[in-house]
Copies of this chain bind each other. A is one copy, B any other.
């Protein structure tokens, strides 16, 4: 029996929206948003979407009208009553009332601000300008829209069974990864793959497969909507966005040098427990830890997101030991370009030396490598970053110069101020 009402209702959609909820975003965005809303609502920022994989000609693949329809749909979204109830009433990281009433009242009225979209050759220039707490909310949905429209563009030309087999292959591949991960008894791993997912439905499938296949070893998802619907922990703390904007706003080199620590001072006031996770690589992990204030060593853990993960984890372990901390009590979260091989290696090396956790991103939610002709569904490196704050350019160095962002002269100044020496370039896959 065909359900006629469902068919008729489905036909009435003008488009098939990629993003259907304000909560279809990463949890750390909301944590950062509360901090930004309370402390820096007046800062003007510009975010820009950048395709680092220039061999993927987005403007050839995706029609501009289609992007506008998707982005306009997102601009029409508002937090629903049920979503608001979940944010207000849920326990996050074991804590109730994570989001204050002032912030929730604001978020309930929140709508996405304007966007600027322009074709430039075979790429699009997509930028967002306005107040920081509004503009920052575009990052994740903008990425998810472009990623999924590209998937749709590629699958549109396929036969029905070709498509079925495409997903059969992707499911098989993912399940084989899960079967390998199941061999690691103390594993803790979560989904960090919202931004560069193949599609919403595929991310949701991947999360459910992880739930069944890994049980307790699967600790949750960064995606708030999926966490809410699947009754999972929402996972995430903070991102490079905070030190990048704080640094851009610094008036001189002295203020610049301490900007990353001011981020963590604020964070220390706003959040506690497992949310106190250091992201040290924005301007070089070694220098950051060397000059860090003593109190930071008491934080719960560290997230390793660029450079050699082994090296950076060892640097953190040494740093904790020097400050009289027991590394076995500390959380180390690896989150940079992970796949099963690397997870196994890092697990073997660190699982009995620290509290270990993995944030698995693109190769969880978008490993379609080799599954379409001309590898047209391989994930690619799309980012959406703050490029300026109050008119000043932002800079990111990270521990991998291939991930550096910002004007060349500013990069040089930052390298000098943060005493970043020679860096090893690593290929950026995703």
Contact = CB atoms under 8 A, between A and B. Distances in A.
A1 B4 CA distance: 10
Contact of A161 (B160, B161, B162, B175): B175
A171 B165 contact: yes
Interface in A1-60: 1-3, 5-6, 9
Interface in A245-297: none
Contacts of A208: 161
Given A165-B209, A169-B172, 8 more contacts: A3-B6, A159-B213, A161-B208, A162-B175, A162-B212, A168-B171, A168-B172, A168-B175
A105 B350 CA distance: 77
A164 interface: yes
A171 B171 CA distance: 11
A97 interface: no
B165 A172 contact: yes
A212 B159 contact: yes
A167 interface: yes
Contacts of A162: 175, 212
A175 B165 contact: yes
Contacts of A2: 3
Interface residues of A, number: 22
B161 A209 contact: yes
10 contacts: A1-B6, A1-B9, A2-B3, A160-B212, A161-B175, A161-B208, A161-B213, A165-B171, A165-B175, A168-B175
A164 B171 CA distance: 8
Interface string A128-169: 000000000000000000000000000000011110110111
Contacts of A5: 1
Contacts of A168: 167-169, 171-172, 175
Interface in A216-267: none
Contacts of A171: 164-165, 168
Contacts of A159: 212-213
A159 B178 CA distance: 14
Contacts of A175: 161-162, 165, 168
Nearest to A159: B212
Contacts of A212: 159-162
